[in-house]
């Protein structure tokens, strides 16, 4: 088939001019508008694909929200309804209102530099969210204005108040435990890596 022939066939398909148009299993998608063949058992589908089904549901929800808003004239207008004209060629009342609307939704929380906005969003994603406030944890109990940390050991009731017990494992036991857990090859690689990191190279 030539390109001109293909274009003619596609135009006929879009217009609904083909032999199977009378088939009850062939219908027009209610979202994208293209014809498709219904594959359901009871011939009850309304859209041609899952993407069109999602788009149709979103459009219906938006239409219902608009109807509910129009049916309540006494409600308070939203920021966007006051300063945004949702016409065929939509526009904001001013640049200030446009940036203010985006700023409140964290789109421009770090200024108007789009590169800085993207970099900050990537950093937040890598950190698992926005940076948390630093909390000082007291280790000797002399810090002020922070919460207390209590550690309870298995022999908590046997020790005297204020007594500190140190637990230390001999080097031979550490080597045996690491060898049993990770194996000789991995343990050797980890020791090389610790030497490199100790020299400040990462």
Q: For residue range 190-201, what is the model confidence (pLDDT) as tens digits?
A: 888 888 877 766
37 and 86 fall within a common domain: no
In a domain, 178, yes or no: no
47/87 same-domain check: no
**Same domain for 53 and 80?**
no
Per the structure, the complete domain to which residue 135 belongs is given by 76-143
Express each pLDDT in 114-169 by its tens digit. Answer: 677 677 777 777 766 665 666 666 556 555 555 555 555 555 566 566 566 666 77
Instruction: Give the model confidence (pLDDT) of 15-44 as tens digits.
Output: 878 777 778 888 888 888 888 888 888 888
**Residue 192 vs residue 110, higher pLDDT:** 192
Residue 156 lies in a domain: no
Helices 171-182 + 184-198 axis angle, to 10: 120
The predicted pLDDT at position 144 comes to 58
Q: Which of 100, 125, 143 is the last residue of a domain?
A: 143
SS (H, E, C) 3-43: HHHHHHHHHHHHHCCCHHHHCCCEEECCCCCCEEECCCCCC
Q: What is the DSSP letter of 202?
A: -
Q: What angle do CA 117, 122, 127 make, to 5 degrees?
A: 125
What number is the average pLDDT over the span 106-113? 56
């Amino acid at each position: 088939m030539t390109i001109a022939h293909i274009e003619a066939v596609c135009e006929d398909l879009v217009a609904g001019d083909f032999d199977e148009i009378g088939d009850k299993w062939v219908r027009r998608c209610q979202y994208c508008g293209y014809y498709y063949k219904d594959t359901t058992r009871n011939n009850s589908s309304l859209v041609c694909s899952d993407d069109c089904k999602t788009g149709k549901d979103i459009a219906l929800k938006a239409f219902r929200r608009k109807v509910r808003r129009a049916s309540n004239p006494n409600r308070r207008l939203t920021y966007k309804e006051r300063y945004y004209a949702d016409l065929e060629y939509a526009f904001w009342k001013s640049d200030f209102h446009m940036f203010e609307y985006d700023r409140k939704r964290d789109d421009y929380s770090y200024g108007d530099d789009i590169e800085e906005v993207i970099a900050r969003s990537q950093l937040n994603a890598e950190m698992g969210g926005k940076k948390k406030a630093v909390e000082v944890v007291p280790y000797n109990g002399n810090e002020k204005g922070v919460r207390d940390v209590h550690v309870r050991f298995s022999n908590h009731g046997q020790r005297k108040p204020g007594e500190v017990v140190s637990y230390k494992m001999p080097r031979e036991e550490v080597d045996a435990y690491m060898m049993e857990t990770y194996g000789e090859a991995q343990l050797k690689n980890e020791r090389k890596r610790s030497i490199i990191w100790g020299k400040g190279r990462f």
